[in-house]
Structure 1
Amino acid sequence: MGINENVAKPLDRLAGLLAADMDAVNALIRTRMESRHAPRIPEVTAHLIEAGGKRVRPLLTIAAARLLGYEGTHHQLLAATVEFIHTATLLHDDVVDESRQRRGRPTANLLWDNKSSVLVGDYLFARSFQLMTETGSMRVMEILASASATIAEGEVLQLTAAQDLATTEDIYLQVVRGKTAALFSAATEVGGVIAGGDAAQVRAFFDYGDALGIAFQIVDDILDYSGTTETIGKNTGDDFRERKLTLPVIKALAAADQAERAFWQRTIEKGDQRDGDLDEALAILARHNAIDAARADALDWAGRAKSALSALPQGEIRVLLSDLADFVVARVA
């Protein structure tokens, strides 16, 4: 399920169109991740930030501001803020999940240790709040502070919901809105706010980011069962091994017979996993067309993201944001 080149181009074109802004954002990131007293901070941060990520979230902030004609520089501060928040959550997530690979490279907690990952993540959160205050916008600070709290809340909810077979699609959506969509929607919303957008435009940016983030996470969950290690940048089947009850499994559970339910109880709820269990999980998902059903949901959320853009000014950036929604689901479309 590789990315179709014609669909992948919108992200590259958006990055090219906003290259000057993103160069400034990257310079800010490099400067603000420095520490005079703790050299491990830039070491750990650079390992993740410079690992080849597409900078999707900061790009969304820059794009939102530029779409409304913003000519200042505060959107660059906010884009760097969003990237720091994102990087901090990744550092923490890899410790919680005991992950060993991220973006095709060993995780920071594996190369250094859990303490370093957690503390550097804390440092980046602190840096992000320093950056956002420099805009002088209380509304921007409210949005990003609220998103940070929502992200943490979503991660805690996942701790209990992920291994509970009673978890519904509504609860799953609540987790996804916390752990992923909250930062997507905040990234686009603050871009609209700093550019002076009206209430309808700011709401449209929020709705776009929210739907895009949900589609993004559903695709990630699908690929954990149907992608390759090279495609997804982590080990295939990690969610299963980490006993995460993601959308494909929730859908399979809804149609499970007694034997299948017993399988999920043993492997997900109790954590008793044996050789061949991942293959059995894949067979059950295929039996109930769970991957296809989750794929349909991802495509629906991508469609909602595109629809939200109708309230925003027309132009090349809006077209590319619409195409970006297609890009997010291209790996499973």
Structure 2
Amino acid sequence: MIASSTSEDWPALRVDEWADTRSTLHMWVQIIGKIRLACSPLVNHWWQVTMYVTPRGLTTSSIPYGGRVFDIEFDFCDHRLRIRDSSGASHGFSLEPQSVATFYAQTMEALRALGISVDIQRTPNEVDPAVPFPDDHAHCAYDARAVHLFWRQLVQADRVIAGFRAGFIGKVSPVHFFWGAMDLACTRFSGRTAPPHPGGAPNCGDWVMVEGYSHELSSCGFWPGGGDEGAFYSYCYPTPDGFKDSSVEPSAAFYSDNFGQFLLPYEAVRTSADPDATLTAFLKTTYRAAAELGHWDSAALECDPNRWASRR
């Protein structure tokens, strides 16, 4: 039997306490994400560009480069950026208060030390204004304590969302971190195509969203916004009539017209008697609203994640 979490596992971190650090970190993860984007072949819905939660931070996982592979990890325990390649070589530097321009230069220098030359698009996406990384000297904060707490939030979100993901046998994304909006996400698909997405994200081509939303989906995740301590979210595309008026759990969840999705404040999960069950109820009921109103073939797409429990 796998033990569930306690409220002590879910750290408190107010969004307004680390706003400057969050903005700086957002640019840093975009730089690393764009390195993966530049080197990796396209996978549907841009799944090849994401990062993943690790026991120490966030990783790109293996990135192909010629006849070898390398990875890049943000270590939010020792606060270092680590780059390793399949030859056994490694390089890195400390994560500390420094400008985006300095972080960009150090990253490229570390890659060159490993014989890796990568040319990335130097302008960030999904933010406005979009200052090129080599010119960004304004974002330079790094509160190590806050970053560590944010990573611990991601650990809990990743763990519970992964359990929710297991109940779907249809096409479903990994639980992964999108650096464009700085959110952890997992997306289920109905199997049907969707109308072209209208786009509209700042400094991001509409064609990017057309690829990301090419098929009907129900997506959930966590991001450091939407609540005093961040928020869990759930939305679907296209949005069926009546979705926003659906009855979902827990009672703290609500539909945000501003964001076009259901939100559940992180603090409502953290302070509940059973955080895992509270978040799982939100994930299940918002998905169920999307699937029923969207007429998904649930019998063909869903499964019992414990179907082999008696044999294991």
Greater helix share, structure number: 1
Which protein, 1 or 2, shows the higher relative CO under an 8 Å CA cutoff with sep ≥ 6? 1
Higher strand content, 1 or 2: 2
TM more than 0.5:
no
Please report the TM-score for the alignment, with normalisation by the length of structure 1: 0.26
Q: TM-score, normalised by structure 2?
A: 0.27
